[in-house]
Amino acid sequence: DNNGDWHISYADGNSEGLKYLLVKEGTTPQTPEVIDDGRGVGGTPFADGQHIVGDDSHIVVTASGQIQVSYQDATAGTLRWAVGTPQSGGGYSWEVRVVEQEGFAGAFSRQIVTADGTRIANFWRKGGASVVGDVNVVQP
């Protein structure tokens, strides 16, 4: 970011969740934060248990200091979008959303931030007698 801090999102292979790491001035790692543990969305647990989340994450730091992360729920085949709002005592408060779209989606996501807001490009596919897929651009 403009302060020289590094913002990293990554899939944790041990917990199968998505984490965030702030590295102050590119040299001093802070304590990692859990963005999404894969156990549910919005306080509602998944009936089928924990999902594997965090694949293909893409991170953006907004001018206001919010952290936006797009990524895939590889179990459900959905695109997810998390927004981290800075807290006064440090760290972030994370809100996670599922971005609805057709097919098995969320792969290779990239956020595009414009004056009109954020859009997320991601790959989707549908199976069956013939497999189809393409890139879709959605608004979270």
Give 58-85 pLDDT, tens digit per residue: 999 998 899 999 999 999 999 999 999 9
Integer Cα distance of 63 and 1 in angstroms? 9
Scan for tokens 């991170």, then name that residue.
59
Residue listed under structure tokens 């004056």: 115
Residue 39: CB partners within 8 Å, gap ≥ 6? Answer: 45, 46, 50, 51
Tokens for 67? 């952290």
Separation of alpha carbons 111 and 117, rounded Å: 10
Which parts of the chain sit beneath pLDDT 50?
none
pTM for this predicted structure: 0.93
